[in-house]
Amino acid sequence: MSRIGIGYDSHRLVMGRPLIIGLVHVAFDYGPEGHSDGDVVAHALTDALLGAAALGDIGRHFPNNDPRWKDADSRLFLTHAVELLKHAGFRPVNVDAVVVLERPKLAPHILTMRQALADALGLPLDAVSVKAKTAEGLGAVGEGRAIEAHAVAMIETI
C-alpha cells in the first residue's frame, strides 16, 4: 500500500549563521535563525515522511526546547523519521522538495543535496528530487529575509 505526505518549513535569515540546505553547506553571509541548523529542506522532508504515516510532526518528535536538538544536524531528523516509519511498517519510496530562496543561486548545489538526502533516507538518487526557485522579489523570501521549503514524500508498506 502506498501513502503520501506533505511538509513545509520556513526560517528567518540572519547575518552570520551557516546556510545549510538539503544537508549541504552553501557559502553565504546569511543563514537560518533557529534552534537546530534550520535546514528547511530536511525539515520539510521530515514532516512529509512523518505525515505520510500519520506519525505527527517534527515539533512533536524533536521539540525545540529540548537541548538535545540545539544546533542539531538535521540529518538526524531524517534518519529518525525513517526509523519511525520502519517501526510503523513503512519505507520511503520517493521524495520531492522545492526550496524558495532569493539568493544565492542553488543550481550548483542541487546534485550534492540530492546525494546527501538519498544517503540519509536510504534511497537511490533517482528517487530524491530537489528543485530551487526564487520568490521573484515578493514578500519576506523575495526580500532575502527568509527561506522556505515545500516537500512531498511517498511511502509504502514494507
Q: Can you give the binding site for Mg ion, defined by CB under 5 A?
A: 9, 43
Report, in Å, the least distance between residue 50 CB and Mg ion: 13
Report, in Å, the least distance between residue 113 CB and Mg ion: 16
Nearest residue to the partner Mg ion, using Cβ: 43
Report, in Å, the least distance between residue 10 CB and Mg ion: 7
Task: Enumerate the H helices of 1-158 as residue ranges.
Answer: 40-52, 58-61, 75-87, 110-121, 139-142
Report, in Å, the least distance between residue 7 CB and Mg ion: 10
Residues ≥6 apart with Cβ < 8 Å to 123: 92, 94, 95, 117
Q: What is the C-alpha end-to-end distance of the chain, expressed in Å? A: 9
Residues ≥6 apart with Cβ < 8 Å to 128: 94, 95, 114, 117, 118, 121
Burial of 155 (C-beta count, 10 Å sphere; 0-12/13-18/19+): buried
Report, in Å, the least distance between residue 77 CB and Mg ion: 9
Question: What torsion do the CA atoms of 48, 51, 56, 61 make, to the nearest 10 degrees?
Answer: -30
Q: Length of the chain in residues, anyone?
A: 158
